[in-house]
Structure 1
Amino acid sequence: MKKYYPVMLNIEGRKCTVVGGGAVALRKIKNLLNYGAQVKVVSPKILTEIENMAGEGRITLKKRPYQDGDLDENFLVYVATDDYAVNQRCYIEAQRVGAILNVVDIPKFCDFLVPAIHREGNLTVAISTDGKSPMLAKKIKEQLKQHYGPEYGDILSILGEIRKKALLEIQEIDKRKALFFHLVYGITFEGDKIEYEKEMWNSYNFFKEKCITKNK
């Protein structure tokens, strides 16, 4: 049984190909575009929305059957067809050119799986069942949405700003760690954003002043 290493990939500007032109392929295309990939689509039959994307210059479209060489110089490839022979040929070529591959619903041809994703701002929670039950992953994602709503995008943005300043202004590692612990575990992120943002910055200033006083 394959074991999949969980990792976040930067695909901005990377060449990615989607083989297939149906609804599943469309979802893959949109996700790749959302993360800044250069997307090529290969399929003889294409949804109108995909054709429109090509007309707008958002993707490169090869409206024909897959052929050997289509995956050259690609970083990542999705295959979303119901033609097993095509799927297998894509797998063989991806192995040859070193592209990482996902063939929809055929785990043995997959170098990677796509987890269910819950995203709020810079917070990304990924749920994977190693391909055993995508439906269960989806259920868990829906449950997480109830606990980690839009406010967590705001919270993470504030934490990022504070961390950046703390790395410059609080030299002692233990003090920074205590600050970060307090910000995450000691503050209740409920109610008005203005209130918890104020409390977070007050905490930062308190820890910073303690360090300044100690070092005088």
Structure 2
Amino acid sequence: MGPYPVVLDLGGRPVLVVGGGAVAERKVEGLRAAGASIMVVSPRVSARLAKMADDGDIRVRLRSYRRSDLRGVAIVFAATDDRNVNAAVAADSRRRRIWVNAADDPDHCDFILPSVLRRGSLLVSVTTGGRSPALARIVREELERLLGSDYALLTDLAGDVRRELRTRGEQATAEAWTTALRGDVRRLVAAGRREEARRCLLEALRPA
């Protein structure tokens, strides 16, 4: 059996990150982008995490992890450099039925983090199920060269047109969308001709 892929909406949800070093930093950066409410627990934190706390972006408890830190938490990240601490955090979380991710320790993970490519609202994730994070990163880097910044504009355009059609009470089929987005629309977006691309997309989606 393989993992079941999902995309989580963590906006405003309380998330605990145990650890204050480089690994914790990476977790926090991703969680900030998702709009999570982040608590970091560690006796020491990096300068970058300290600045985030000073700026009010995260909260920090400068002490060792306690089981009580799990109270009211939606998801936990164990990101210390001590595998025993990470395992203890994972065990405590699982007893409380809280999903947990322990850095570089798949046996203590309820979910794994993919390598992520973002182009605006377009998100592409790559995972090997924890078998080779390095390979997942290589595949993501190859996709970065394939999917340029114009895909962010294309995603926004498609979303705007979809809302416009709904406002009109119209609906295009999945096949119509696929055909339209593979046509001249992409070329126009790449050329920076957004309004022409919008008209082209609407025309392509118009019922026959």
Normalising by the residue count of structure 1, what TM-score does the alignment of the two structures yield?
0.86
**Corresponding residue of 1:13:** 12
Q: Could you tell me how far apart the structure 1 residues matched to 2:167 and 2:87 are?
A: 53
Change (3 A) 1:49 1:203: closer
Mapping of 1:169-180 within 5 angstroms? Answer: 169=168, 171=170, 176-177=173-174, 179-180=176-177
2:49 alignment partner in structure 1? 50
Identify if the C-alpha distance between structure 1 residues 110 and 203 changes in structure 2 by more than 3 Å, giving closer, same or farther: closer
Counterpart position of 2:200: 202
Q: In the alignment, is the contact (CA less than 8 A) between 1:78 and 1:104 conserved in 2? A: yes
Gaps of 5+ in 2: none
Task: Determine the C-alpha separation between the residues in 2 that align with 1:105 and 1:87.
Answer: 10
Identity of aligned residues (%): 31
1:183 Cα offset (Å): 1.5
Structure 2 CA distance for partners of 1:33 and 1:177, relative to 1, 3 Å: closer
Name the Cα RMSD after superposition: 2.1
Q: Shift of residue 79 of structure 1?
A: 0.8
Q: What secondary structure, in the 3-state scheme, does the structure 2 residue paired with 1:12 have?
A: coil
| 1:82 maps onto 2:81 in alignment | yes
Return closer, same or farther for 1:113/1:207 CA change in 2, 3 Å cut-off.
closer
Do structure 1's residue 183 and structure 2's residue 180 form an aligned pair? yes
Moved more, 109-118 or 196-205: 196-205
CA distance in 2, matches of 1:70, 1:107: 22
Residue equivalent to 2:153? 154
Once the two structures are overlaid, the 10-residue window that deviates more, 158-167 or 136-145, is 158-167
Give the conservation status (yes or no) of the 8 Å contact 1:179–1:207: yes
CA–CA distance in structure 2, aligned partners of residues 55 and 164 of structure 1: 39
Cα distance in 1 between the residues matched to 2:48 and 2:205: 53
Alpha-carbon deviations, 1:5-61, whole Å to 9, x = none? 100000011110111111111111121112111111111121122122222222221
In our comparison, the structure showing a higher alpha carbon Rg is 1
Question: For 1:87-166, what aligned pairs fall within 5 Å after superposition?
Answer: 87-166=86-165
1:192/1:21 Cα in 2 relative to 1: closer, same or farther (>3 Å)?
same
Residues 185 and 200, structure 2, Cα contact 8 Å, conserved in 1: no
> What's the CA shift string for 1:100-128, capped at 9, x where partnerless?
11100110000111100011011110000
Q: How many residues align?
A: 206
Give the match for residue 25 of structure 2. 26
Tell me the secondary structure at the aligned position of residue 189 of structure 1. Answer: helix
Write the distance in 1 (CA, Å) between the matches of 2:4 and 2:41.
Answer: 28
The one-letter amino acid of 2:19's match is G
Counterpart in 2 of 1:66?
A: 65
Could you tell me how far apart the structure 2 residues matched to 1:158 and 1:53 are? 33
User: Separation in 2 of the partners of 1:207 and 1:17?
Assistant: 45
Alpha-carbon distance in 2 for matches of 1:81, 1:201: 52
Change (3 A) 1:57 1:5: same
Contact 1:14 1:75 in 2 (8 A): yes
> Taking structure 2 as the reference length, what is the TM-score of the superposition?
0.90
Question: For residue 74 of structure 2, what is the amino acid of its counterpart?
Answer: F
Structure 2 Cα separation of the partners of residues 25 and 199 of structure 1: 42
Q: Please say if residues 75 and 100 of structure 2, whose CA atoms lie closer than 8 Å, have aligned partners that are also in contact.
A: yes
Which secondary structure state, in structure 1, belongs to the residue aligned with residue 155 of structure 2?
Answer: helix
